[in-house]
Amino acid sequence: MTDNTTNLREDIAYMRDLAEAGASTPLLGGLILVVVGAIFAVASAAHWLWFSLGDPETWMIISMWLGAAALCWIVNYAWPIRLMLKKPGISSPSNRASAWSWQATGFVVNVILGCCLIIAWRIDSSLPFTLFPSVILSVYGGAWYVSMKMSGQKWMWWPTLGSFAFSLILALAITSSFLFLIFALAWALLVLAPGIVMVRREPSLVV
């Protein structure tokens, strides 16, 4: 019991040291969030507009979201990720922890999207996509929380709490025709805008 308590205290002290170190090192990867936020905001708005103008085939919606996900991966690996790896501070504890958190988030989001696509294809309906917004924003809220704690940047409470709040709002709006328009707004406010803030804070020469 004593050993467990000691280990817990050491772990807490270690996390505190990481947070304190992170407070003096700007988080990198803002441009990645800008790309993701912009692409998925457009995809969400297109989804809403498509259904507002008519009743598209399920395969059309599936193709659009597959294209959006593929575009995110291609653009990010071709540009922001390569740029980020060259910046000072990339190997800091806070940036490494934040990078792992966002990388995991990316995998989770794509798996959830894949599940929605498969279910939509199997039942020949776009109905599974109505669950996508709330689930995705919950995952993003968790990623923002980790980044905030590791970096000590209090302004990240905004996208953290905002993601959780929008997740609940989207759950309430699940039967609304404006569901994906609200989702587009969430991408812009909680991913694109914070990404721009991070880009402005990133170092250009040395930390």
- Evaluate whether residue 21 is within a structural domain: no
Q: In this structure, what token pair is assigned to residue 21? A: 């170190």
- Evaluate whether residue 13 is within a structural domain: no
**What's the angle, vertex CA 113, arms to CA 186 and CA 27, rounded to 5?**
55
92 pLDDT above the threshold of 70: yes
- Evaluate whether residue 14 is within a structural domain: no
- Evaluate whether residue 153 is within a structural domain: yes
- Evaluate whether residue 6 is within a structural domain: no
- Evaluate whether residue 2 is within a structural domain: no
- Evaluate whether residue 161 is within a structural domain: yes
Residue 57, classed as helix, strand or coil, is coil
Mean pLDDT, the chain, rounded, equals: 84
Three state DSSP letters for 149-196: HHHCCHHHHHHHHHHHHHHHHHHHCCCCCCHHHHHHHHHHHHHHHHHH
200 pLDDT above the threshold of 80: yes
In the chain, how many domains are there?
A: 1
Range of the domain at 50: 27-201
Q: What is the pTM of this model?
A: 0.81
DSSP assignment, residue 101? H
- Evaluate whether residue 7 is within a structural domain: no
pLDDT tens for each residue of 176-191: 989 999 999 999 999 9
Length of the chain: 207
